[in-house]
Structure 1
Amino acid sequence: MLLEKLFKEFNVDVNTFNSADSKRFDQYFERILVKKNTFLIKEGELEKYSCFIFSGIARCWTLNHKGEEQTFWFCKEGSFSLSNISFTLQEKSTFNVQALADCEIYRIDQDQAVKLYEAISGLKEVFDDLTARLLNRLLIRNINLIKFSPEQYYLQMMAEYGNTFNSIPLKDIASYLGITPQALSRIRKRIF
């Protein structure tokens, strides 16, 4: 169930592992429900879990040089939270991850992760590839901020996030695009 959703998000062949391995994968994760506005991690904390967003959406943000919240990433359904950086490196987080909607999350701690990699042959290599794909998405985001106007990027976001897009507050979309809420309002008036 979890692997299939993850593989779908990253366009990986769902037949990479057999159904027994997929079921085994799920058994290593703990299901939790997270309420809207709850922090998955706060800046300065050390992440104890790798968190998979099964449903819902979270935002990654930090304070900019003016002391204002600046959203730089959305962790959408079918992907892992960027708090995994702290989890993997075992370093304190340099940003916050906060649920924008009620979320169903599956999490795994370090000990269980080691056991999972031992239980499913080839999983570590697949996850290394998924990490590279995520890093590429982050790079593409930075490039798109240069290449596209905020309006073009907004339209691209609408297509990428689908129905989940409606769960994102407009102030966070504006922050993500690097524009004011007023500028976003003008864009939305032109589009709709």
Structure 2
Amino acid sequence: MLLEKLLKEFNVDESIFSSEELALFDQYFEHFPAPKNTFIIKEGKTESYSYFIFEGLARCWTLDHKGEEQVFWFCKEGTFSMSNISFTLQQKSAFNVQTTVDSILYRINKEKAEQLYEAIPTLKEVFGDLTAQLLNRLLQRNIDLIKYSPEQYYLQMIDEYGITLNYIPLKDIASYLGITPQALSRIRKRIF
């Protein structure tokens, strides 16, 4: 269930794993309900768990030089949260990760993660590939912010997030686009 959802999000053929491995993957994770506005990690803390977003959405943000929240990433269903950077490196997080809607997460600690890698040896290689894809998405976001106007980038967000975009507060979308909520409102009026 979890691994299948992750592989689908990254367009990876699940047949590289046996049905037993797919089922085994889930057994290492703990169900973790996260109401709206739950912090998965706070800036300056070191993450003890790796979180998978089964249902819901989380935003990654930090304070800018003016002390205002700046959203730079959304963690969608079918992906691990960006708090995994702190988890994997065991370093203090440079940003916050917070749910934007009531969410269902699954989490795993370091010990269980190591056991999981031993139980499914090919998993580490596949996760390496998925990490590369995620880094490519982050890089593409930076390139898109340079290449496209906020309106063009917002249209891309509509394509990428679909109906999920309706659950993201407009102030967070505006922050993600690097514009004011008023500018986003004008863009939305032109589009719709």
> What's the secondary structure of 1:162's corresponding residue?
helix
**Whole-angstrom distance in 2 between the partners of 1:172 and 1:8:** 26
Residue 159 (structure 2) aligns with: 159
Q: Give the CA deviation at 1:172.
A: 0.2
Residue 29 (structure 2) aligns with: 29
Q: Give the CA deviation at 1:162.
A: 1.3
**Whole-angstrom distance in 2 between the partners of 1:56 and 1:68:** 24
Residue 150 (structure 1) aligns with: 150
**Whole-angstrom distance in 1 between the partners of 2:88 and 2:177:** 28
Q: Give the CA deviation at 1:178.
A: 0.2
> What's the secondary structure of 2:40's corresponding residue?
strand
Residue 191 (structure 2) aligns with: 191
**Whole-angstrom distance in 1 between the partners of 2:18 and 2:149:** 43
Residue 5 (structure 2) aligns with: 5
State TM-score, norm by structure 2.
0.99
**Whole-angstrom distance in 2 between the partners of 1:56 and 1:91:** 26
Aligned length: 192
- Residue 103 (str. 1) matches residue 83 (str. 2): no
Q: Give the CA deviation at 1:48.
A: 0.4
**Whole-angstrom distance in 1 between the partners of 2:126 and 2:78:** 16
**Whole-angstrom distance in 2 between the partners of 1:16 and 1:42:** 35
**Whole-angstrom distance in 1 between the partners of 2:11 and 2:140:** 16
Paired residues for 1:44-123 under 5 Å: 44-123=44-123
Partner amino acid, structure 2, of 1:2: L
Q: Which consecutive segments of 4 or more residues in structure 1 shift more than 2 A? A: none
Residue 173 (structure 2) aligns with: 173
Q: Give the CA deviation at 1:164.
A: 1.1
Residue 124 (structure 1) aligns with: 124
Partner amino acid, structure 2, of 1:187: I
State TM-score, norm by structure 1.
0.99
Partner amino acid, structure 1, of 2:57: I
Deviations 1:31-73 (A, max 9, x none): 1100001100100111000000000000000000110000000
Residue 18 (structure 1) aligns with: 18
Partner amino acid, structure 2, of 1:7: L
Partner amino acid, structure 1, of 2:100: L
**Whole-angstrom distance in 2 between the partners of 1:163 and 1:21:** 32
**Whole-angstrom distance in 1 between the partners of 2:90 and 2:22:** 27
Identity %: 73
Deviations 1:127-148 (A, max 9, x none): 0110111000000000000111
Q: Give the CA deviation at 1:121.
A: 2.1
> What's the secondary structure of 1:47's corresponding residue?
coil
